[in-house]
Amino acid sequence: MGMKLGIIGYGGMGYWHGEYAPRAGVEVVAAYDVDPKRLEMAKDNGIEAYDNLDEFLKHDGMNFVVIATPNDVHKELTIKSMHAGMHVMVEKPATMSVTDWDDMVAESEKTGQILTVHQNRRWDKDYNVMRKVVEEGKIGEVLSIESRVFGTGGAFFGWRSFPEYGGGMILDWGVHLFDQLLGMYPDIKVTNVYAKLMTVLDQKVDDYFKVTLTLENGPLLHVEVGTYAFYKLPRWYVIGNEGTLQIDDFDCEKGGYMKPRYTDTPVAEVVVMTSAGPTRMMAPRPPETKEDFPLPEVETDWTELYQNLVGVMEGKEDLIVKPHQVRRVLELIEVIFQSAEEDRSIEVRI
Ligand code: NAD
């Protein structure tokens, strides 16, 4: 079956889908947008452009759509598209509340159309390398995972700076980072959520956040995103009871994990004088008592998400990005906003 894709919202990400989907053997046939300039661009890229949604949805032979508009209209466009017989891959965040998501899933069940979400960062190399080291037990039992993304751009642009359109960093990077971490612990409950959402540059939406999640019999998860943080901190920092992992950036070019090496050399037998004062616990470790390991090689391919959707449409595969996983992240995000609003930690079972 030829897979023919229509793009709703041919902005930054819509353009990206237009360039990327063909790599998975998908043909991009049509685009719908409310901005004539974006439609001109789609035409220039050989895509049939529509300024009318109903006409677009009738495009001959189109079997599925990607929705890459601002977040506030994801629900309405998803439901209309499924109603018109399209399978849907909606951009993250799928929508802005659990109730809305439940309505979208109900429409998918009613119409029999597939509904999935473009959680492409499940295929990011840094995430998969971290996950491999953790899941293979290379640093022992994991006690704490820090996931961090810092940039210096500061101000948001366009719809991203308004809460009513679903702006702010929780609904931007946060969605990816929570999806990644919860994906590692599908059967372990989050029991406590504490979130601080701030605006460093006096905006209407969060341009900085720090969230701490407690897992039942699992590690403490810290997620921090800043758009105005001028020194980089590692993308991942993981503490285990047999070692420590650090991955500096998305490309995994710098980083590794370090473990103790058991030798006859005492780590710090006596109190050592350091610039921070006398110490034993914090004394520099003799080099022969520790060992560095390189990060493992992991191959990842973002097109797998499209290939999976094609496989599901052909009845050959199960969805990778499943509705209940999307719901769990949205449930968590609702509690994050509540925790920030009330400035307290909240007990949950998510
Ligand atoms: P954008 O502003 O660049 O593009 C949005 C486009 O939607 C614009 O062309 C706009 O004219 C159009 N639009 C607005 N309202 C519309 C409507 N009612 N009907 C049809 N078109 C409409 O935004 P963007 O950066 O491309 O983000 C779009 C979506 O993609 C958001 O949900 C965002 O969270 C998501 N996104 C995902 C990733 C990822 O890595 N998965 C990355 C960036 C953005």
Q: Give the residue, by CA position, lying nearest to ligand 1 atom 11.
A: 35
C-alpha closest to that of 200 among 156, 231, 167, 146: 156
| CB 287 near ligand 1, within 6 Å | no
| CB 40 near ligand 1, within 6 Å | no
Answer CATH for 4-118 from 3.40.50.720, 3.20.20.70, 2.30.110.10, 3.40.50.11400: 3.40.50.720
- Count how many Cα atoms sit within 13 Å of the Cα of residue 293 in the half-sphere of its side chain: 17
Residue 82 pLDDT = 98
Neighbours of 97 (CB within 10 A): 15
β-sheet bridge partners, residue 237:
146, 246
DSSP annotation string for 105-151: HHHHHHHT--EEEE-GGGG-HHHHHHHHHHHTTTTSSEEEEEEEEE-
Q: For the chain, which residues make up each domain, given as ranges?
A: 4-118, 122-258+290-300+332-347
Q: CA-CA distances (angstroms) from residue 340 to 151, 198, 272, 328?
A: 22, 9, 43, 18
Structure-token pair, residue 262: 């058991």
| CB 178 near ligand 1, within 6 Å | no
Q: Do domains 4-118 and 122-258+290-300+332-347 have the same CATH topology?
A: no
C-alpha closest to that of 126 among 258, 247, 234: 247
Residue 90 pLDDT = 98
Residue 269 pLDDT = 66
Residue 167 pLDDT = 96
| CB 224 near ligand 1, within 6 Å | no
Residue 154 pLDDT = 87
CATH topology classification for 122-258+290-300+332-347: Dihydrodipicolinate Reductase; domain 2 (3.30.360)
Q: Give the residue, by CA position, lying nearest to ligand 1 atom 2.
A: 11
Contact 78, 116 (CB under 8 A): no
Expressed in angstroms and rounded, the spacing between residue 52 Cα and the centre of ligand 1 is 17
- Count how many Cα atoms sit within 13 Å of the Cα of residue 315 in the half-sphere of its side chain: 2
The residue whose CB lies within 8 Å of the most ligand 1 atoms, and thus the one to mutate among 7, 8, 10, 13, is: 13
Residue by residue, pLDDT tens for the chain (350 residues) are: 579 999 999 999 999 999 999 999 999 999 999 999 999 999 999 999 999 999 999 999 999 999 999 999 999 999 999 999 999 999 999 999 999 999 999 999 999 999 999 999 999 999 999 999 999 999 999 999 999 999 999 878 899 999 999 999 999 999 999 999 999 999 999 999 999 999 999 889 999 999 999 999 999 999 999 999 999 999 999 999 999 999 999 999 999 999 999 877 777 667 888 888 888 888 888 888 899 999 999 999 989 999 999 999 999 999 999 999 999 999 999 999 999 999 999 999 99
Residue 1 pLDDT = 58
Peptide bond into 93 cis (omega under 30): yes
Residue 262 pLDDT = 81
Expressed in angstroms and rounded, the spacing between residue 11 Cα and the centre of ligand 1 is 5
